[in-house]
Structures are given as C-alpha cells and as structure tokens.
Amino acid sequence: MSLITDTGALAALCERLADSKYVTVDTEFIREKTYWPRLCLIQVAGETEAACIDPLAEGIDLEPFFALMRNAAVLKVFHAARQDLEILMKLMGELPKPLFDTQVAAMVCGFGESVGYETLATKLANAHIDKSTRFTDWSKRPLTERQVVYALADVIPLRKVYRKLASVLARTGRSEWLDEEMKILADPATYVAEPREMFRRLKSRTKNPRFLAVLRELAAWRELEAQRRDLPRQRVVRDEALLEIAASAPTTLAALADTRQLPKSMTEGPTAEAIVEAVETGLALPVGELPELPAHKDHPPGLAPVVDLLRVLLKTKCDAHGVAPKIVATTEELEDLAADDDAPVRALVGWRRILFGDDALRLKHGHIALAISPDNGRIELIPVEDDAEGQPIGEAADVTSGNTAELIADTDAA
C-alpha cells in the first residue's frame, strides 16, 4: 500500500519527484463542521511513481511536500484545482507554482463546460474511476487499502490526461491561452475572503444604503468570528438572522432579544454585545461611506435580438475552434457587449478577442452577417461591406481550428 506516514519516507519521495517535469496532485479533505478545510490526505504522482501522504499521521512534517510544491522547475497538475489550492495556500502561506488545471485546459480544448475528471480519465486515459468510496470519511484511521487505491486513481490517470491535453494545446497554439487562465488560479487574492465584502453574498431585496451598511458590519463580524472559532458561517449566525438584524437594527440587548431568527442563547453575553456593536457601527457611518450594491444595468431597449445574434456567433466560433463557450463569454457578458463596444468583458481581451470579440463587434455594426450555408446547412459568416479595419471577414487571426477528437486521437502515443 503506497501510503507515506513518516517524514523520512516523505522526504525521500519528494526528492525523487523533484526530478520529474511534472507531478499530478489531489487532496481529500472535510469541512462540513469547520470554517477551514481539514486536510486528510494528499495524493501525488510523478512520471514513474505515485503515493498517498497521510497528513494526519503522528509526527509527520509536510515541509518536504511543501518544498516540492514551491519548486518552480516542477509543474503542478490538478483537476478543478481551486479547493486544493485554497487548502495548500492556508498551510503553506503561498500557492504551489507553476500550475496546470486539466479542467480549464479541457474547456480550452473543447471538452465542454466544467468537464468532470471521470469523463476525461475515460476519454483520454481509458481509465475507469471507482466511485464507491467517493463519500468516505477521509479523517478516519486507519485507511484501508481500497481507499488508498481509490485515492491514487485521482492522480495516476491524470498523468495521461495532462500529457494529451498539453499536446493538443501545443499543436493548436493554445498553450498561451491556458497560461492566461492560470494567472487567475495563481493569484493569492482568488482565495482570500474579504470580510467587508461578504455582505454581497447574502440574498436581500433591500437596497437601502443604511441597511447595507449595517449588514456589511454584521457579515464582516460573522466572517472573522467564524475564522477565529473555525466554524462554518451558518453555525455562528444564520443568514436569515443577519438579514433580520440588519433590517431591525437593534441598538440594545433587549431589542436584539426580539430577533425571531436568533437563538435565545445568542441574545446575551459577548456574542450579543458584538452584534449590537456591529449594528451601531453601521448606523454611525457617514453618508459618504455607505455601501451600494452594483447598480442594475439599464441596457437600451431592443437589445435582446443583438444578444441572440451574439450568442449564435459565440456558439458558431467556439464549435469551429473546439472551445467551450462558457470560457469565452457568459450571457451577462454578451449583454454588456451588445450594449457597449468598450464593455469590460473577457471577450474583448487577449485570445478571446481574437477568437470571438473582434467578429462580435463586426457583427454588431453590420460589417458581417450570419447566414445558413446552402451547401451544408451550417451557420457561416459572410461580408456585408468592406471591413474598415482591413482584417479578413470572420478570420480568427492565427487561431488554429480543428476537430478536438481527432487531435486527441493523434496524441495516443503521448
């Protein structure tokens, strides 16, 4: 059973893996009863070996693994990396680097939106992933051999998945596309919950700035309290209670006791006093410091047909180039683009602009049109008038199109 339970064995493993060009990584954790996820198992595989690391083993020091994660000469490959990276940043104080997320890479390569690991493992590595122990309690010890085998299946087939996706990215000239996406994952700010912004996650129909000021203070207090006590937010104070308190704005413990959504045990003592203090802070804010929710976008009337055309163009371009539409533009971004040529949307930046954004603007301004080909029944772009920018109509610069399945098939030797 490939399970590392002591620092010496871990150091030896990581020393060997440091010679690999890449390692595949996954973690198992629990967080149902805590604010911070509790790391229960680490799976890692190099080009020739794989092992599970038990972070709960008595006396084990994970520093050799952290050093491997910091080693810039070794690429760290994850699938749907965000939660794994959140845990590792908390433990390491920094993020692993460099990074490769196979879920994002698969979207760039045309495998659909948020494709699952099992799907990629089957299609690209011809591996069947056993799901029977998926909902196991990874904090319980000892781990069984079956659990270890299951856990290793999250990193062993991932090696071939990575190699095939990397090959397609290189052959289609899209490696830089993925690099742009990895910058987001590699930004520590992606994983930081700003306490004074947490109120924006609460579902409220009330837009009154004073109400929002009180809610902001309450939500910030709860966030810090949840972190301090290592409890889920809802275990500290439920959302419904925060919203009710923000609406009634009690400034005394007696008034707070009238909150129906708040347990009686929380209407006195230090917690109650902290809640009242947060309310008073929100009520005392100067008008110029009151928060506002993002204003509702009043797009011009009659915009819907333009959005529909952009949506068709997006699907057409993404189908032709084997890219998941979601990674290029969302419906909200299409609406913004339809309303404003200079909208701050992803589709007007970098490779997305080459693939879709420039043609979207041409379509919007009547320089090109969508038509159904009489030859094959497919939607195609046709010129309406000379393009003032002088770029060939409908051409996505040097972006290589092609059938993703065929490209994958050609990499079987990888």
Q: Domains (ranges, CATH) in the chain?
A: 3-191 (3.30.420.10), 195-289 (1.10.150.80), 304-401 (1.10.150)
pLDDT for residue 395: 42
- For the whole model, what pTM was predicted? 0.85
pLDDT of residue 362 exceeding 90, the answer is: yes
Q: What is the mean pLDDT of residues 240-263?
A: 97
CB-based contact 3:54 (threshold 8 Å)? yes
pLDDT of residue 295: 64
- Catalytic residue set: 26, 28, 84, 150, 154
pLDDT the model gives residue 407: 59
Helices marked H in 61-205: 63-70, 82-92, 102-108, 117-125, 145-152, 156-171, 175-185
Helical pair 239-248 and 209-229, crossing angle rounded to 10 deg: 140
Q: How confident is the model at residue 251 (pLDDT cuts 50, 70, 90)?
A: very high
pLDDT (average), residues 66-73? 98
Q: Please give the structure tokens belonging to residue 60.
A: 């084990």
Question: What DSSP letter does each residue of 292-325 carry, written as one string?
Answer: -PPPP--PPTT-HHHHHHHHHHHHHHHHHHT--H
Question: Quick check: 384 pLDDT over 90?
Answer: no
Half-sphere exposure of 240 (CA within 13 A, CB side): 5
3-class SS of residue 41? strand
User: Can you give the pLDDT at residue 132?
Assistant: 75
Contact indicator for 160, 124 with CB cutoff of 8 Å: yes
**Per-residue model confidence (pLDDT) at position 175:** 94
Q: Which of 190, 168, 233 is nearest to 81 (CA)?
A: 190
Amino acid 405: pLDDT: 56
Rounded to an integer, the average pLDDT of 133-142 is 88
Of 121-135, 152-166, 284-298, 368-382, highest mean pLDDT: 152-166
Query: In this predicted structure, which of 129-138, 262-271, 300-309 has the lowest mean pLDDT?
Result: 129-138
Token digits for 352? 């997305």
Residues 95-117 have a mean pLDDT of 94
Q: Is the pLDDT of residue 74 over 70?
A: yes
Can you tell me the mean pLDDT for 64-84?
98
pLDDT average, residue stretch 387-400:
44
Higher pLDDT, 410 or 82: 82
Packing angle, helices 175-185 and 156-171, rounded to 10: 130
pLDDT single digits (tens) 269-328: 999 999 999 999 999 999 999 998 776 666 778 899 999 999 999 999 999 888 999 999
Average confidence (pLDDT) over 121-149: 90
Q: What is the DSSP string of 8-30?
A: HHHHHHHHHHTTSSEEEEEEEEE
Per-residue pLDDT, averaged over 368-386, amounts to: 86
pLDDT at 176 over 70: yes
Tokens 């043609």, located at residue: 359
**Amino acid identity at 92:** M
3-state secondary structure of 180: helix
What is the residue-averaged pLDDT of the chain? Answer: 91
For residue range 98-108, what is the model confidence (pLDDT) as tens digits?
A: 999 999 999 99
Task: Show Cβ contacts of residue 345 under 8 Å, excluding neighbours closer than 6 positions.
Answer: 329, 333, 336, 337
Per DSSP, the residues of 262-281 read S-GGGSSSHHHHHHHHHHHH
Q: Are 349 and 356 in contact (CB under 8 A)?
A: no
